[in-house]
Amino acid sequence: MKTSLVPCLLAVFCLSLAPTYLLAQAGTPSTPPADVPLRPVPPADPAQPAPPTYELTAKWNERWSVSVLSVPFKNESEKPLKILGVQATRGIFIGDFPSTIGPGREDTIAFVHEGADNTDGDLDLIRVLTDQGIKEILVKIAREAAVKFDVRELAWTVGDAAEAKSATITVTAGTVTPQKARVTGGHQAVLESAGAHTWRVKVTPASTAKSGKFAVFVDFDQPLPGTAPVILGVIQPKE
């Protein structure tokens, strides 16, 4: 008697689906529904004192700190403070920190600093997770001046004549030299010398028919850690 292959193949197919079904029943992770609300982040408590701020100096072109830096961290409480972990923003990389600090005693948090090229800001935050809550420390990197823009924004109003407006750049001797100006959106930007260590960027919008914004980038012969060499062009709506 011949046996049909159809029931056998059907049985094999059903068995192959079993592991998938069991995984689904066991709670395989899935994408949550799109309408699940996120919890709002509560605002900072205004009653809490401002975090301490420490200022460290850096050369105008210094990317990495030449040595390991440190900031003091004091246990203001009357019981031992356990440090569970430390994190930092942007350019700070934590090297070492104490595990415990005695009541009223002080220790240090060691780190190195890296300044990103062509970006504004040298203010970083160190957050310390302790058994008494999160503590914060602000670190401000004070850089030698290399470049100064007299304005960072050039503005027109909708319907104005599309005339050139200028920003002046002054550089410290022995640092950097502007090379060219670049602009987005079909607008025009021209870099021209305006005297010793001074340059002018002349910006002409392509049109002022509608409001909007565009960026003008100034390229230098060397990177500028902690400084964004950008001028913002703004075409404002009529009031």
pTM: 0.67
For residues 220 and 192, what is the distance between their CA atoms, to the nearest angstrom? 13
Q: Give the residue-averaged pLDDT of 106-123.
A: 81
For residues 188 and 181, what is the distance between their CA atoms, to the nearest angstrom? 9
- For domain 53-143, is the CATH number 2.60.40.10? yes
Q: What's the chain's average pLDDT?
A: 82
Query: CATH code for 147-236?
Result: 2.60.40.10
Closest alpha carbon to 111 in 53, 55, 56, 68:
68
For residues 233 and 239, what is the distance between their CA atoms, to the nearest angstrom? 18
pLDDT value for 118: 64
pLDDT value for 153: 97
For residues 203 and 182, what is the distance between their CA atoms, to the nearest angstrom? 10
Q: Give the residue-averaged pLDDT of 71-98.
A: 93
For residues 153 and 145, what is the distance between their CA atoms, to the nearest angstrom? 20
Domain borders along the chain are 53-143, 147-236
